[in-house]
Amino acid sequence: MNTRRQFLVSSSASAHFWPAAAQRASQRPVLDEQDPTNIKLSHRMPIRNLSDDDLLFLRQLGIQWCRIEFGNEAPYEYMKSTQQRLAKFGMKIFSAVHYAYRNVDLQLGRGNRDQVIETYCRFLRDCGRLGIPVANYDWHPANTYTTAEVVTPRGYTARQFSLRDFRQKIEKQAFEREYSAEDIWASYTYFMKAVLPVAEKADVRLALHPDDPPVAKMNGVAKIFVHADGYHRAEQIAGSSRHWGLTFCVGTWSEGGKQMGKDVFEMIQDFGGRGKIVDVHFRNVSTPLPEFHETFPDDGYLDMYQVMKALRQVKFSGTIVADHVPRLAGDDGMRRAGTAYCLAYMRALLRRANEEVG
């Protein structure tokens, strides 16, 4: 009887509490996904491999924005037809990738790089013509991304990187000589001086990804975006241009840990606070280097809710993508189950962050 009486008293109290709580919550200025000032959930798409059924699946998950990997060939008409195809599923291209910038001669500062740069500039002009606001790129020739694919403690499959295994089993000199950090800075500067004015005229923002993994030298070639200082130097090269910024890869930055000069939250405050973060790769890892494996966002060492909250606090309104989605049992090539898991989790974090930050 006492238990029943306690339950009835508790139920009566709840009946008075929950309407009031709901009313208070409804008064908070929560942004919906249509609001241009909100973070935009996005997805990376190698468009040539996606069927209409794949696009319908993403639309069912609520995807309205895309990062399109056009690869090595992206003539204007193909980009336009891709844009039109996506529009049938209610999607827009927020960012696009053309692999011309990955040309080894370009990134090492040798050979006929001007021809490669012109290909990339034509791509930027086409992005401008089509209203695609962002072009993503990176700058790490001779990179090794992974040393193994492993089954994680929770049972899903993900990428692993071990610095010891890389040094002992994989690393080799990739080119005819070693390339120093200043060699790579020289080639990056040459590229940026050529393409940034084109991006400005086309009104396309260039978004630079850090080196993944953030190891200072791999296969005889230095890497220059393994520390916050590298991003600051790149910003100085770009000057005051609002068309240069970051693809801030949370996973890469978490891989580096304390060696990065600034942690994830300090980077968001620094670059995000000045509007220099263009888009975000929303990924978690098990531990910092010297060894890590990738994880689902709720399964790594970083509190991804705090990351989402920090992004909203600096009023970031670009896209976030579920990066390097791990593979669940029975997952297909597109990793539909893992993708759905990540996007649903990200949407919940975003909703909560918007409720808290306003």
- Supply the CATH number for residue 231's domain: 3.20.20.150
CB 33 within 8 A of CB 40: yes
DSSP state at residue 217: E
Whole-number pLDDT of residue 91: 97
Instruction: Report d(CA 253, CA 211) in Å as an integer.
Output: 9
User: Closest Cα to residue 293, out of 143, 165, 168, 167?
Assistant: 165
Whole-number pLDDT of residue 46: 87
CB 69 within 8 A of CB 46: yes
CB 273 within 8 A of CB 321: no
Whole-number pLDDT of residue 12: 46
Please list the alpha-helical segments (H only) found in 257-335.
Answer: 264-270, 304-313
Instruction: Report d(CA 275, CA 315) in Å as an integer.
Output: 8
Instruction: Report d(CA 241, CA 198) in Å as an integer.
Output: 12
Q: Count CB-CB contacts under 10 A for residue 73.
A: 11
Q: Is residue 10 part of a domain?
A: no
Domain count, the chain: 1
Which structural domain, as residue segments, surrounds residue 187? 44-357
* Paired sense of beta strands 134-137 and 205-208, if any: parallel
Cα angle vertex 207, ends 232, 41, to 5°?
125
Q: Is 282 helix (H, G, I), strand (E, B) or coil?
A: strand
DSSP state at residue 141: T
Whole-number pLDDT of residue 334: 86
CB 285 within 8 A of CB 300: yes
E strand or H helix at 279: strand 277-282
Whole-number pLDDT of residue 100: 97
Flag whether the pTM goes above 0.85: yes
Please list the alpha-helical segments (H only) found in the chain.
Answer: 2-26, 52-60, 76-87, 104-108, 113-130, 163-165, 181-202, 228-238, 250-256, 264-270, 304-313, 336-357
Q: Is residue 132 part of a domain?
A: yes
Q: Is residue 14 part of a domain?
A: no
- Find the farthest-apart pair of alpha carbons in the chain and give their distance in angstroms, rounded: 87
Q: Tell me the average confidence (pLDDT) per consecutive run of 10 residues in the chain, 358 residues long.
A: 46 46 52 86 90 96 96 95 97 97 96 95 98 98 97 97 98 97 98 98 98 98 98 97 98 97 98 98 98 98 98 97 95 90 97 91
Q: Is residue 25 part of a domain?
A: no
Name the token pair of 126. 């086409």
Q: Is residue 27 part of a domain?
A: no
Q: Is residue 7 part of a domain?
A: no
Q: Is residue 17 part of a domain?
A: no
Q: Is residue 301 part of a domain?
A: yes
Q: Is 344 helix (H, G, I), strand (E, B) or coil?
A: helix
C-alpha dihedral sign at 273, 265, 280, 215? positive
Q: Is 46 helix (H, G, I), strand (E, B) or coil?
A: coil
Whole-number pLDDT of residue 358: 75
